[in-house]
Structure formats: C-alpha cells, structure tokens
Amino acid sequence: MKSLNRRLALTALALASLAVMTPSVAQNKPNIGVAVPAATHGWTGGVVYWANRTKAELEKQYPGVTVTVKTAGSAAEQANQIQDLVTANKIDTLIILPFESSPLTQPVAQVKSKGVFVTVVDRGLNDPKAQDAYVAGDNPGFGKVAAEYMAKAMGGKGDLVVLRGIPTVIDNQRVDAFNAVMKGYPGIKILDAKHGNWNRDDAFKVMQDYLTRFKNIDAVWASDDDMAVGVQKAIEQAKRTDVKLVLGGAGSKDYIKKVMDGDKIVTADVTYSPSMIADAMKLTTAARVKGEKMAATTIIPSVLITKENAKQYYVPDSPF
C-alpha cells in the first residue's frame, strides 16, 4: 500500500509539474529582430513587403511577441543594425537575410555567441556555425532548372552570356549548378559571366559591355527578373536581333505575365519567391513561442514556370 501511495504521489507531483510547465512554454514571448536588405530592386522590395506584413500578422497571432524590422542599404549598415537590435532592442531572436555573405558572417556569429537564436534566410553565411537555422529557396536547383531549360531551348548549341548576382553563397550555388549542367553540352559556349548584382542598372551596363564585345549572343542567363529588365533594355537600345532567349528568375509578376502572353524571347522563368522571409519568420516565431526545436535547414523548391503553368504563379497584386 505504501508503495502504491508513493507511486500515486509521484504521479500527482509529475502532473502538477507538467501543469506548471506547460503554460510557461505556451507563453514564451520572444523579442524578434528581422534584418533585411532595403528595397534596392524588385525582389528585395518584395522581401520588405512580406517582412512588414508578417510582422503585423505574428504580433496579432501571438500577443506579447515583439517583432522589429530593419532594412539596410549596405552590408556595413546591416552589421550596425544587428548590433543595435541586440543592445538597444534587447532581442533574443534574430532573423536575417544578409546583404552579403562574407561581411555579415562575423557580426552574426558575435550575436549568436551572446545567446541570441539566429535564423539565416536566403543569402547564406560563410560559416554555418554562425546560425541555428537556415531557410532558403533551392539555389542549386535554381541554377540546374535554368540550365536544363536553356540547353534544351538552345538545341544544345550556341553562344551564351551569364549575369551573376551579388557575391554571396547562394550566387555561387546557382552558378556552380548551372555550369555543372552546361558541361554536358559542349556545343554551348559560355562567353563570359559577370556580376550584375541583381540590379537593373548594373545589369544594363554589363549587357552593354557584352553586346560591344561579342558579335553574336544567342542567349542570356540573366538569373534574376530585375537583371533581365536591364538586359532587355540594353538589347533593344543596341537593336540586336541575334539574342533569341533571355531567362531571368525569381518569378516576378511582370515576367510571369510575359511567359503567359507568349513572349518570343522570355519563354520561361524559375521560382524564387521573396515570401520566403515570411516562411522563415513564421517558422522561427512558432518554434520560439512553443519552446520547440526548429529544423536546421528548410529548403523551398525552385520550379520551372512555362506558359502551361504560369497562371498558377501569377499574383497581380504582389509588389514583385
């Protein structure tokens, strides 16, 4: 009997402890800082839009949770902002889409060393130890899907130029995967690959240089819809008719519309939505509020958009 009473007492004590613990877990109120690049081009404009929209949604969904969104126009500014978020805003959670990989790796690592939970989005850091979680699109898939489509559209032969993004881990992943596919098509010659920094004006200048140096260009992997705008502007101004294919990426509504409408040069696109910042914010906040472990890596697949499926990806009200 004494043994039974003792077991009952222990069970009651365990249940009482659980009753005390459960509300505390459910009532975690993280102080979250979100650091993203400023809207210097369409895609990051979409990121800023989704970050602010999701901030409002999360603060409504989880009363007591605080979300502070900061936008930066340079890597140096972003590094200063995340320090301010720790010292002034007293954040315990950081969700960051780095402006650039190398300059932000050490500053983010310092924040993590102070006990702040870190989720890195999209543009990965040079040292994965500087983060607790990583959320991104499928960057190797982005390059692979683009290369496979272009190789097929070009009939396995021709002259191709490439515009790279900002020097980041994800840009390397995209280009490496693209080049790996193209190695299987010796009839396709990559004339050059330069950084257009995911920027229309920079891409325009790079494409002007390509058009000046190369008498024939069959196709352009712009690798981003904003850069594709600059590329097409340069082609039109130069009145060149040799370019038969321009492939961007990220799935902007303007370029999806081109695909839908049967544009002769823009015949496809590849998804890479800026709403991934919203996914990262929701996943991180839910895990922190509930006291649960977050997946170390979450990858959102890249999908080829063609005329056949473009309609399902077209969101006319989107800012990007």
pLDDT in tens, 245-288: 999 999 999 999 999 999 999 999 999 888 899 999 999 999 99
Q: Supply the pLDDT for residue 1.
A: 43
pTM for the predicted model, two decimal places: 0.71
Residue for token digits 């069959």?
218
What superfamily would CATH give domain 139-270? Response regulator (3.40.50.2300)
CATH tag, 26-136+274-299: 3.40.50.2300
Q: How many CA atoms lie within 13 A of 271 on its CB side?
A: 21
Mean pLDDT of the chain: 90
pLDDT value at 22 more than 50 = no
pLDDT of residue 223: 96
**Which residue did the predictor score with more confidence, 20 or 290?**
290
Q: Is the pLDDT of residue 222 over 80?
A: yes
Region 100-107 average pLDDT: 93
Examine the pLDDT at 27 and tell me if it is beyond 60.
no
Rounded to 10°, the helix 139-153/169-182 angle is 30
Give the model confidence (pLDDT) of 36-90 as tens digits. Answer: 999 887 889 899 999 999 999 999 999 999 999 999 999 999 999 999 999 999 9
Return the closest-CA partner of residue 74 out of 200, 166, 194, 5. Answer: 166
The residues spanned by each domain of the chain are 26-136+274-299, 139-270
User: What secondary structure letter does DSSP report for 129?
Assistant: G
**Mean pLDDT lowest for which of 8-12, 60-64, 140-144, 224-228?**
8-12
Q: Looking at residues 172-182, what average pLDDT do you find?
A: 97
Confidence of residue 11 (pLDDT cuts 50, 70, 90): very low
In this prediction, residue 19 carries a pLDDT of 36
* Domains 26-136+274-299 and 139-270 are alike in CATH topology: yes
Stronger pLDDT, 204 or 16, i.e. the higher one: 204
Side chain identity, residue 207: M
pLDDT for 24 beyond 70 = no
Q: Which residue has the higher pLDDT, 169 or 201?
A: 201
Give the pair of three-digit tokens for residue 243: 């370019």
Q: Half-sphere exposure of 15 toward its Cβ, with a 13 Å CA cutoff?
A: 6
291: left (phi over 0), alpha (psi -120 to 50) or beta: left
Helix residue ranges per DSSP H, the chain: 2-26, 42-61, 75-87, 101-113, 139-153, 169-182, 200-213, 225-238, 253-260, 276-290
For the ranges 85-94, 158-167, 189-198, 268-277, the lowest mean pLDDT is seen at: 268-277
Number of Cβ atoms within 10 Å of the Cβ of 278: 20
HEC readout, 186-251: CCEEEEEEEECCCCHHHHHHHHHHHHHHCCCCCEEECCCHHHHHHHHHHHHHHCCCCCCEEECCEC
Rounded CA separation 252/52 (Å): 19
